[in-house]
Structure 1
Amino acid sequence: MPSFLPVTAALRVLEVLAALNRLREASVGDLFRETGLNRPTIVRMLETLIHAGMVARHPARPVYVATGRTLELSSGYRRHEEMALAAAPTLARLHAALQWPSDVSVFDGDAMVVARTSRGEGVLHFNRRPGYRAPLLGTSLGLAYLAFCAPETRDRALAALSGSPEPWNAVARDPRAVAGLLEGVRRNGYAGMIEAYSDAAYHGVASAIGVPVLIGGVAAGSLNLMYLRHSLTEADVVARFVAPLREAAEEIAAALAGMRGG
């Protein structure tokens, strides 16, 4: 756990920058809708980021964009690139076969980082790009990973999430409940998105199922399949898509192991 309370202003700056990265370009109104911060605060955060060289105003339109200097913030992070390379051919084939998009992700402390996605290749396109941090206890990506990762990794992650205010993280404060949740994922062999997260992130329109990418029986990442809830029930998705999703995860695991010389 951190030794000191966080600096609220710094957290807000980072929240605005993360939202701008997700949107690619955004007005103050767009950022208000994305973050819930009040508009004067957003303007102050944007001015701070402009001063730091991380954000620029568009010369012709009332929107802001992230600059190339933001790449410095991720220059030390490379693990997701290996997964992206290993998964790319499989994700393309999976999307062509099933017609629903998928994300593949790797663990990063308190979230799953999307390494590669096929969301932009079809009619179901949500605002998620590589680098998006999917909550561990809210998403199928996170739950599929947690259920099959090393116990010490899981324990550290749950401890980190136990103080989080998001509703899907409340279960981290109940050891018996979280153990039952993850045991259900292991028993079924797949995870579903938590409804509270679907409501918060997708207004209840979309959901997902996810499976682990296993190397030696331990999760090295996770793979999901997104769908629209008015088109398919979770039972339909499980019956039709869990088997090909598992096959795809096995293919990605084999490619990843091959890249590592395994």
Structure 2
Amino acid sequence: MEKGVPIRSLSRGIAVLQAINRGQSLSMMEIARTSEVPYPTACRIVQTLLHEGLIEREPSRKRYRPTALTQTLAHGFQGHAHLVKTARAHLVDLTRSMGWPVSISTHVGNSMVIRDSTHALTALTFSNYYPGYALPVLECASGLVYLSHMPGEERASILHTLKLMDRDRSRHIIHLLEHEGLAEQIRSQGYATRGNNQFTHNPGKTSSIAVPLFDEGRVAGALTLAFFAAATKMDNAVQQFVEPLRAAARAISDDLARLDKAA
């Protein structure tokens, strides 16, 4: 990696914007905490984002939210339309049979980005999560299962970049992936879990299980089921949900393979 890369100020600016975009409406203290950016620095970044029109302050209280201008950051991005279209029926079937919402996410930079979900199809959810919602790759089950199933050199490169972000929350997970065999364990069992998810609209209220999705033999994303943390213990959730998730993931991968052959 070239000397001086990444630029810390730019990395922090992106982290603040992502935090506001995830939270939809955050106080200044919440922005600093969730982005893991020092409070004075976060304040300066927020003022810059206000100036650029990417965020706005709510009229009646000291909270900040994204504006429609943030959508311009996605112009030119083609997404994963074939994956979403192929998987949609399987997502709907899973939610109808199990009740809990499921989603498909793919890797972008330091995040896993939701491409489609069934949160709107079930009452067993605290919030709807629409395409574009981003989760830190090391802080979600989908990110852990994705990293664990990608080639070792690619995973090492991503982890090297994440180290340079200098976030306390990430160091322990990076250590587990690099030195404690976490990636091998996840690959062996075929799924990853994350309890009491913090980077959601309702921090700590949900837990998740994710399995990998493959396209042409390479991991292409993750299929994730979210459930109320207070309703189901993780061990019970694994027993109930892993096999249906695996079956759906295999069906999606098989459908993708048929599309690739027909193309």
Range that drifts further, 152-161 or 1-10: 1-10
In structure 2, the CA distance between the partners of 1:127 and 1:28, relative to structure 1 (3 Å rule), is farther
Structure 1: distance between partners of 2:175 and 2:34: 28
Q: What's the % identity of the aligned pairs?
A: 29
Which residue number corresponds to residue 14 of structure 1? 14
- How big is each residue's C-alpha offset from its partner over 1:74-117, in whole Å with a ceiling of 9 and x where there is no partner? 21322344433332222222112111122211122433222122
Structure 1: distance between partners of 2:4 and 2:18: 23
Structure 2: distance between partners of 1:232 and 1:76: 41
Q: CA deviation at 1:141?
A: 0.7
Which residue number corresponds to residue 126 of structure 2? 125
Residues 1:241 and 2:241 aligned together? yes
Contact 1:214 1:253 in 2 (8 A): yes
The one-letter amino acid paired with 1:161 is: L
1:50-61 alignment, distance < 5 Å: 50-57=50-57, 61=60
Aligned with residue 174 of structure 2, among 169, 172, 175: 172
Q: CA deviation at 1:131?
A: 2.4
The one-letter amino acid paired with 1:209 is: I
Q: CA deviation at 1:209?
A: 1.2
In structure 2, the CA distance between the partners of 1:91 and 1:50, relative to structure 1 (3 Å rule), is same
The one-letter amino acid paired with 1:107 is: H
Which residue number corresponds to residue 157 of structure 1? 158
Report how many residues are paired: 258
1:1-262 alignment, distance < 5 Å: 1=1, 3-4=3-4, 10-26=10-26, 28=28, 31=31, 34-35=34-35, 44-57=44-57, 61-62=60-61, 64-120=64-120, 121-126=122-127, 128-163=129-164, 164-173=166-175, 177-178=179-180, 180-193=181-194, 198=197, 204-260=204-260, 261=262
Structure 2: distance between partners of 1:216 and 1:6: 32
Structure 2: distance between partners of 1:192 and 1:135: 15
Structure 2: distance between partners of 1:246 and 1:25: 35
Contact 2:119 2:127 in 1 (8 A): yes
TM-score, scaled to structure 2: 0.78
Contact 1:211 1:222 in 2 (8 A): yes
Give the 3-state SS of the residue equivalent to 2:131 in structure 1.
coil
Structure 1: distance between partners of 2:198 and 2:21: 22
The one-letter amino acid paired with 2:147 is: L
Where do 5+ consecutive residues of structure 1 fail to align?
none
Structure 2: distance between partners of 1:174 and 1:26: 31
Contact 1:147 1:185 in 2 (8 A): yes
TM-score, scaled to structure 1: 0.78
Structure 2: distance between partners of 1:105 and 1:204: 20
In structure 2, the CA distance between the partners of 1:31 and 1:138, relative to structure 1 (3 Å rule), is closer
Give the 3-state SS of the residue equivalent to 2:227 in structure 1.
strand
Contact 2:176 2:182 in 1 (8 A): no
RMSD of Structure 2 on Structure 1 (CA): 3.3
Structure 2: distance between partners of 1:207 and 1:245: 15
The one-letter amino acid paired with 1:159 is: H
The one-letter amino acid paired with 2:189 is: N
Where do 5+ consecutive residues of structure 2 fail to align?
none
- How big is each residue's C-alpha offset from its partner over 1:35-85, in whole Å with a ceiling of 9 and x where there is no partner? 576877666544422321323455x64454433322221213223444333
Contact 1:80 1:105 in 2 (8 A): no
Give the 3-state SS of the residue equivalent to 1:79 in structure 2.
coil
Range that drifts further, 245-254 or 16-25: 16-25
